[in-house]
């Protein structure tokens, strides 16, 4: 049962994702640009992923999100333990094989 809001992932998934982000070498302080100020990510508690630019505390809650970096120890998987995406997304959100 989702516990991080109506459409969020379950607590255990969120905790695993967020802990992974906090230990990740791609984690960075939020840039001091306007967009990050607008979304409230202006202090170090709202760190961002250097690869995708997302605020990780929020990204980790979203079921459709995926980590963009390969796990250095698990070939074919990302750092969140998901299979690396090899398919392109269509406008409908469905995955299809990349040409």
**79 contributes a contact to ligand SF4 by CB under 6 A:** yes
**24 contributes a contact to ligand SF4 by CB under 6 A:** yes
Element (DSSP H or E) covering residue 16 = helix 11-22
Among the listed residues 9, 13, 14, 20, the single contact to ligand SF4 using CB under 6 A: 20
- Give the Cα separation of 61 and 17 in Å (integer): 8
* Strand ranges in 11-89 using DSSP code E only, listed in sequence order: 27-28, 48-49, 87-89
**41 contributes a contact to ligand SF4 by CB under 6 A:** no
Among the listed residues 14, 41, 56, 61, the single contact to ligand SF4 using CB under 6 A: 56
**68 contributes a contact to ligand SF4 by CB under 6 A:** yes
**9 contributes a contact to ligand SF4 by CB under 6 A:** no
- Give the Cα separation of 60 and 14 in Å (integer): 6
- Is residue 47 within 8 A of residue 64, CB to CB? The reply is no
Q: Is the Cβ of residue 73 or residue 97 nearer to ligand SF4 in the bound state?
A: 73
């Amino acid at each position: 049962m989702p516990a991080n809001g109506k459409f969020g992932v379950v607590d255990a998934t969120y905790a695993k994702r967020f802990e992974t982000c906090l230990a990740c070498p791609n984690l960075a302080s939020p840039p001091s640009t306007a967009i990050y100020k607008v979304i409230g990510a202006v202090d170090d508690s709202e760190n961002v992923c250097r690869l995708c630019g997302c605020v990780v505390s929020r990204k980790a809650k979203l079921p459709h999100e995926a980590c963009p970096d390969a796990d250095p120890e698990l070939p074919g998987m990302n750092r969140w333990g998901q299979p690396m995406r090899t398919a392109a997304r269509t406008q409908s959100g469905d995955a299809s094989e990349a040409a």
